[in-house]
Structures are given as C-alpha cells and as structure tokens.
Chains A and B, each alone.
Chain A
C-alpha cells in the first residue's frame, strides 16, 4: 500500500515540476525569447528536481494524512493540494528571505505564484489515480 502511495506522491511531484517548468517557459519566452525560455525551463526542471527531491517526503506523508481526515474525496484532495502548496511556497519564500538573493528580483516574486499553481494543477490532474488509491486504502483498512 505504501508503495502505491509513494508512486502517487512521485507522480504529483514530477507533475508539479513539469507544469512549473512549462509556466517558466511561457513567461521567459514572453519576456525574453524562445531560446531563453527553453534554456531557463530545462534548467529549472533539472535543478528543481535535485533541490526539491526532499519534498517527496512531505508529499507522501501529507497524502497519507489527507486520506485520514473526515471529509469527502474532493475536500480531502483540495486540503492536500492547498496545504502542500502552502508549505512549499512558505519554504521557498523562507529560503528567499533568508538568503536575500532572489527577493529583490521582480520576476522571482511571480515564482511562488507559479509554484502554487503548478502544485494545484498537478493534484487536480492526478485526481483519478488518487481516487483509486483512496479506494484501495479504504478497502485495505476494512479487510
């Protein structure tokens, strides 16, 4: 069961990375040029995968908790998506404020919005597989 949970967490994480890279691509292309867009988005995807790998632990545990709260599936997943996005954005802003590297840049102020959207979209896309996972978890607990 935990293997399925891990796979779903991985799916959400990878999905969020891809969507975020795509959003960065659109923004960088719109403000600079298509070449810069591709370069920045590829860099963000690879760099983001390395930097945010530890977040998988948070995704995994949060998903586990979300299935335990006494709400319907939609509410559980909405809570999961929102809480995950809030935690990740808070971590990002915390690091940015601590290092004081990015915060002055106007483009980077849009970055947390992009991260938030990416996570929410990624969770929404995974809705079907998360529904199946929840069903199997409940059946498993009943058995």
Chain B
C-alpha cells in the first residue's frame, strides 16, 4: 500500500518537476535534476536492482552520458542519455540480460502507463455512500436538464423579455467560459501531462512481462534438441530452406544435404570474395594514388554502401546456416573452415572499406558520415568476431545479439564523450594545407564550432579560392562565409536570451564567453 502511494506521489512530483525544469528550456542542467530524481526513485522503489552488476555498469554509462549533456550538450549525448535511461529502467524493473529484451519491456511499459497507473490507484478506491449519492444525482439530472434546455428555447422564442434574460445569462456564461479558456495555457497543460506520462513510463513497471518470459527461455549455449512438429512449422527460415531444397531438405539425410549445400555456397562465396578482395588489395591497399581522374566521391560512397550491405548479408548467411542442428553435425568440419575463411575475408573487406574512408578523410577532411563509417566498421568487426565465436563455441543467436547490443551501447557512451563538431572543425583546420575542405559543410556545423570557424574565417575563404582555381567550384561566394557565421551568432545569442540557469551547459557558456571577449576586443 505504502509502495503504491509512493509510486503515485513520485509520478506527480516527477511530472511537476518535468514541467518546471524543461518548459521553454534547452536540455542541459535541467536534465541532471530530473534524471537524478528518476534514479533516486527507481533505486528506492526497486532496491533489489542495486545488487545487479549489469545495472551498475549501465548506471555508470548513463551517468557519463548525463555528464556529457552538461559538458558538450551534443545531440549524441542527449540521444545516449535517453537510450541508457530507458534501458536502465528496463534492467531495474525486470529480470533481463539482453538490452534488446530490456528495450522491449520498456516499450511495453510505455504502452501500458495508464493501465499501470490505474492499477496503482486501485488501493485508493473508496466507494463511499456519499460518492454514490453524487453519482446518482448526476444521472437523475441529465433528463430534466435536457427538458429544461428545450423549453428555454421555446419560451425565449415566445417571450421577448424572457429571451432577453436568457440572452444576458448566455452572454455572462460565454464571457466566463472564454475568460477561463484564455486563463489556461493549453500548451503548458499538455506539457505537464507529457511530464506525468514520461515519469510514469520510467517508474511504473507494467504487468506485461512478455519479454521477461521470452528471455527466460533463452540460453547462451546452443543445446542439441529435437524440434517438435509445431516448432518446425513455425520456423520461417527452416520452412524456406526446406522448400528451396525440395526433396533434399526432408527425411533422414536432410542435415547432411544442408551441410553439402552450405559448404558449396561458402566455397563459391569465398571464391567470389577472394576476387573482390584481390582487386581491393592491389588497387587500394598498395597501389592507390589520388589524382584528378579518380572520382573519390563515387569510389567511397557507392563502394562503401554496397560493401556495408554485403558484410551484413555475410553475417546473416552464417547465422542462418549455424542456427540449429548443423552445429552438432559430426562432419561439419569443412563447413566450419569455410565459414572461418568467409569471416576472415569479410574482415579484409572491412579493412578495405576503412582504407576508402581513410583516403576520403585525408583528401577532403572529416565529416559526420565519415566518422559514422568508422564507428560502423568497429561494430562490424565486433560482429564478425562474435559470429566466429558463435560458430567456434556453439553459441546461440540470442548470445550473438546480446553481446553486439552491449558493444553498441559501449560505443554510444564512448561517442558522447567527444565534442564532435569542435573535433571536426579543429581537425579540418589543422589539415588545411593538405585537404580540400568542405566549406559548405563546415558552415553547417553546430554552434559549438562557431569560435573556431570565426577564428579561421580567412582559411575558409582561402579554401573557396583554392577550390575555384582547381575547377571544383564556379563563382564561390566568399562573403557568404562571414554572413553565415554572423547569422549563426545572432541565432545563438537570441536563443540564449530566452533561457534561464536551467539551460546552463559548459559548451554554451564557453561560446558566450568567447563572444563577450571578442566584442570587448573589437570595442577597444
């Protein structure tokens, strides 16, 4: 009873706090206040979770993201903070090992907030005779009220004095209603509701433990077992492969036939990839020279996109082959060797994609997507290593997804610790003599890069000239650089004037300091 009351109080307090700290403010220091409140409530409502090491590590990751919101105030730190908070709620409230299932449970939490809230309210339910009396009164009043309205209409059309009295009454009622509606800030009211909903989403554990039950059945180690007829029928991949293989996919020799098909496929795919890798090694690894005739943009973008898809497909194929009993087939030695070779070849492919990205960065500087490719390659490498481990140690697909989800979370938390806009701008300006800087892109970087961009405005103009001389640009707009920076500066200062201390963050504070110092210098 006390626990339920505490939950309700916490939701109301959380909703009000959300409304007070986030209304017309930027996500910054206010997040720290709201987040600490949520963490305190979560750990006090679900004390068992304090002993879990997973919760401990995830809390650490979440606190890093939270700190980075105040330090860098970047988009990625905000995204990271939201994701880790949601996962943390999932791990605290339910018994999970995988971030996927925890995420699923949190999503269900969100869908059933209202039901959970009312379930908590149940303990307060007191059907007193007084309440019942009022309920009856309302029901009794409906029909007489309707009759009254009809007869008011009739009498007011028949009697002009009565009509005037009714008119005055309606006028008074109208003014009162419109005054009342004007008094309420609907936006603020809905914002409060959103705050209550969000707090309820995080704090209340839904009764839908679908994902908890599902994960309970999952194991890391693959066990050999006979599938029931229903399980076989429901296994989509199994039915596709059996239909594709026709007679070969059924009967006593189905496993042997599957092994043969897998082996043949892997041999062919390995040969194909060997040719692709051979070309890449000869062309990219050792013989690559950047010249005007090489369309680097085409090489990078088209090549990278397709290679990314091919690596994902490669992993999917291996997961399909090694999802079941082929792991235990006595003569699967060559199939395993084929898979290892395929994994190693895909690692080579990853390195080729990395080289493409590296060449692109060394020629045209850093950009978000180029950094994104590097992160992606890191994740793919982790994926390939875990696929190898899955085959080698007979692990389940659940294990594979679980481990890879954690690697994504670690990378996400790691990525929040860098101020990417400043990093990109600083790197590109450091390399100004070696690269063709993407000037337009540089001007789209967020406010955090403004001081660097302003200090290096001459470099940007020089780059435009250089690109015109090389024939990459026609009629470059040099004045646009200064105009664009000025617009950015004005937009930033305008936005800042509307914020209070709740929107404080180190990044904005340092930009403001820079502007005030530079204005002092210019006035001198």
Contact = CB atoms under 8 A, between A and B. Distances in A.
- Chain A complexes with chain B: yes
Interface stretch (A1-9, A45-53, A65-73, A134-142): A65-73
A75 B122 contact: yes
A97 interface: no
B33 to A, nearest CB: 28
A70 B177 contact: no
A116 to B, nearest CB: 10
Contacts of A83: 114
Contacts of B122: 72, 74-75
A113 B178 contact: no
A30 B170 contact: yes
Interface in A99-129: 109-110, 113
B125 interface: yes
B112 A29 contact: no
B207 A79 contact: no
B173 interface: yes
B177 A26 contact: yes
A82 B153 contact: no
Nearest to B138: A125
B428 interface: no
A86 B195 CA distance: 16
B118 A70 contact: no
A74 B112 contact: no
B114 A82 contact: yes
A71 B177 contact: no
Contact of A74 (B118, B178, B186, B208): B118
B118 A78 contact: yes
Nearest to A35: B153
Contact of B115 (A26, A78, A110): A78
Contacts of B114: 75, 78-79, 82-83
Interface majority SS on A: helix, strand, loop or mixed? helix
Contact of B119 (A72, A82, A110): A72
Contact of A31 (B115, B156, B174, B208): B174
Nearest to A29: B170
B208 A70 contact: yes
A38 B154 CA distance: 13
Interface string A56-95: 0000000000000111101110110011000000000000
Interface residues of B, number: 22
A130 to B, nearest CB: 14
B236 interface: no
Nearest to A69: B115
Contact of A30 (B115, B119, B174, B208): B174
B77 interface: no
B207 A70 contact: yes
B137 interface: no
B186 A109 contact: yes
B181 interface: yes
Contacts of A69: 112, 115, 207-208
Interface string B153-197: 100100000000010001001100110010000100000000000
A82 to B, nearest CB: 4
B213 to A, nearest CB: 12
Contacts of A110: 181, 186
Given A74-B122, A79-B114, A79-B115, A27 B208 contact: no
Contacts of A74: 118-119, 121-122, 125
A39 interface: no
Interface of A: 26-27, 29-31, 33-34, 38, 69-72, 74-76, 78-79, 82-83, 109-110, 113
Interface of B: 112, 114-119, 121-122, 125, 153, 156, 166, 170, 173-174, 177-178, 181, 186, 207-208
Given A69-B112, A79-B118, 15 more contacts: A29-B174, A30-B170, A30-B178, A34-B153, A38-B153, A69-B115, A71-B118, A72-B119, A74-B121, A75-B115, A75-B119, A78-B118, A79-B115, A82-B114, A83-B114
Closest 3 CB pairs of A and B: A30-B174, A79-B115, A75-B118
25 contacts: A27-B177, A30-B170, A30-B173, A30-B177, A30-B178, A31-B174, A33-B170, A34-B156, A34-B166, A70-B208, A71-B112, A71-B116, A71-B118, A72-B119, A74-B125, A75-B114, A75-B119, A76-B115, A78-B114, A78-B115, A78-B117, A79-B118, A82-B114, A83-B114, A113-B186
